[in-house]
Chain A
């Protein structure tokens, strides 16, 4: 059985050893909350500071945060359901040419 954490894997690059915590389960599970705090933190600046923008719509409180979140979700959903759903094919579709 392979050592997924890599602590005892001698093939791990020495420069990577101090960063093996990046693969830790606790980090993966807490990443959502860390990013939520950061996103809300930056969005909350709008409550105390009025941004001056070229486009008046962008001066709305939380505009960039909402647009960023919505854009990302839209991109993923359209990619998943429209592109992969309708246009996805098996890897050997192009007469076994593959893509690599």
Chain B
């Protein structure tokens, strides 16, 4: 333990590494930074006092900012963010893009900074930094679609930040505290605004489309990086501020279920993974909503393993995109012949997310399901079981099957680059290690995961590896696998075809956009009509004045003296008449 570094948040080396990378033209120096910065962050994480710690205090303009709060909750999130940053650095080693290198590091550092923030102002700063830095990973694709999606992504996330700040100000005015803790409540205006800000980043239903819109359009590495931080930061924020908030149980349940239906018929496999990500977030949100120690452990453990297996799946599809040039299911198939190692890693990721026993998803998801059942939310429990079968469909079967097996489309490409394989290998090993049971008296890898949870004694007391539990899970998964084979055989499984499916983003991309365009057109026409009217009035008035006062106007004409005499006589007669009649 080096006390001099106790107050240094692991976020700083990563953010500073990103800032330096932005100024360094040499590719290998930048890539070195991308690997060394997370290692330094890891050393700071290991160096933190084990009993909890609040440090990194910065006094600024009368505010006290806590940049390094290290406790049970931030510890597990901090470690997985550091691991993810390292894997991302390895995966993107071959990419020569200075902006992406810098953005990736700053984004990861901002995520770490937010996790370790002890107050709402620090949280706001890092919250916005994640939004601003990550958009470059979308724009990095350099397509028109990516540019537009990036703008929408940025607008929505900046809105989230603004709502967070507004909520924080109101909350501080009400309570006199800027602390980022469980004093937040949706029953107050400030608390509700902060809750909604977290909800946007967490991709709550009707706030979720930025995810499926932006992630599939990001760069090969960008999608992997994006999948790790933003949404899991939001889950962390909810766990920190709103654990036990009942409405989260139903929000989470809906999040687990509805993406399943979209993922079934989605053709873009990275978009399938984005819907799958949404579904997985639902499990975590349910855990946070239940709020018991077991449930919070479940959410934290799920976030930890999810970041790894979701990154692995995005990495495998990124490798396919890198080599084949597309991840459209309708154009893929048979790739295991060209990319067998990537295929194996993808299958491991699929097995982990599907929660097959011996894989990491199994030991994490089980705690959430048990906590839900413990609290007698049996309808939600059934929804989660449905979603578990759904996960198997879109991530466990669809992704590996349509990319690597199915109809051989004749793509004969090279295997993924070595650095990509190494990154996938690290993630795949973790998927296996973290799901490994106790065996022959040797503690299983899942114990390491459980020891990292916020309440390790509760986690270790949970009877994970029971015969009933393993059998029940295998019954569910094997029956679902059989259902897939059955539907395919009966030709009741939808073909993969080039198409898009409308989602809630239609409201702002088409309806609101159409309304805005229509309003603009109507306003333009109205403005033109008013202009025409004013021009007509001006022309008519000007014409009259011209007719009257111009050199050729009525008042300038030569009037015959006889006519003038008649008019003068008439006027005189009228004057005399008025004078005579006047009293």
A residues apposed to B, CB below 8 Å: 2, 4, 6, 9, 11-13, 15-16, 19-20, 22-23, 31-32, 35-36, 38-39, 41-43, 45-46, 49, 51-55, 57-58, 62, 64-69, 71-80, 82-84, 87-91, 93-94, 97-100
* A55 CB, min distance to chain B CBs, angstroms: 5
* A28 CB, min distance to chain B CBs, angstroms: 9
Cα(A45)–Cα(B381), bound, Å: 23
B479 to A64, Cβ gap below 8 A? Answer: yes
Identify which of A32, A43, A99 contacts B485 (C-beta below 8 A). A32
Q: Is the interface of A mostly helix, strand, loop or mixed?
A: helix
Within 8 A of A (CB), among B382-422: 382, 385-386, 388-390, 392-393, 405, 408, 410, 412, 415
Cα(A91)–Cα(B503), bound, Å: 14
A12-B338, A20-B337, A100-B327 known; A42 and B263 CB under 8 Å? no
* Besides the known contacts A9-B337, A64-B473, 7 further A-B residue pairs in the complex with CB atoms under 8 A apart: A12-B338, A23-B408, A32-B485, A54-B374, A72-B487, A83-B265, A100-B216
Closest to A67 in B: B385
A65 to B475, Cβ gap below 8 A? Answer: yes
* B37 CB, min distance to chain A CBs, angstroms: 30
B527 lies within 8 A of chain A by Cβ: no
Contacts of B479 in A (CB 8 A): 39, 42-43, 64-69, 72
B405 to A23, Cβ gap below 8 A? Answer: yes
B334 lies within 8 A of chain A by Cβ: yes
B268 lies within 8 A of chain A by Cβ: yes
Which 4 pairs from chain A and chain B are nearest by CB?
A79-B264, A54-B373, A71-B389, A68-B479
Contacts of B339 in A (CB 8 A): 13
* B290 CB, min distance to chain A CBs, angstroms: 13
Identify which of A16, A55, A89 contacts B340 (C-beta below 8 A). A16
Among B489-497, B540-548, B568-576, the stretch that binds chain A is B489-497
Contacts of B482 in A (CB 8 A): 32, 35-36, 38-39, 69
Cα(A22)–Cα(B293), bound, Å: 45
Within 8 A of A (CB), among B183-225: 216-217
A72 to B478, Cβ gap below 8 A? Answer: no
B271 to A99, Cβ gap below 8 A? Answer: yes
A82 to B478, Cβ gap below 8 A? Answer: no
- Can you spell out 23 A-B residue pairs with CB atoms less than 8 angstroms apart? A16-B340, A32-B485, A35-B478, A39-B475, A42-B475, A42-B479, A43-B479, A64-B472, A67-B382, A68-B483, A69-B483, A72-B389, A73-B483, A75-B264, A79-B262, A83-B262, A83-B264, A91-B498, A97-B144, A97-B145, A99-B271, A99-B500, A100-B217
Closest to B407 in A: A4
B264 to A80, Cβ gap below 8 A? Answer: yes
* B267 CB, min distance to chain A CBs, angstroms: 8
B415 to A13, Cβ gap below 8 A? Answer: yes
Cα(A73)–Cα(B260), bound, Å: 12
Identify which of B260, B381, B405, B499 contacts A84 (C-beta below 8 A). B499
Contacts of A54 in B (CB 8 A): 370, 373-374
A69 to B480, Cβ gap below 8 A? Answer: yes
Would you give the 0/1 interface string for B302-319, flagging 1 where the beta carbon is closer than 8 Å to chain A?
000000000000000000
A68 to B326, Cβ gap below 8 A? Answer: no
B558 lies within 8 A of chain A by Cβ: no
A75 to B393, Cβ gap below 8 A? Answer: yes
* B462 CB, min distance to chain A CBs, angstroms: 12
A16 to B338, Cβ gap below 8 A? Answer: yes
Contacts of A89 in B (CB 8 A): 499-502
Cα(A2)–Cα(B489), bound, Å: 26
Closest to B334 in A: A23
B336 lies within 8 A of chain A by Cβ: yes
Contacts of B386 in A (CB 8 A): 67, 71, 74-75
B484 to A98, Cβ gap below 8 A? Answer: no
Cα(A72)–Cα(B386), bound, Å: 8
Contacts of B486 in A (CB 8 A): 32, 36
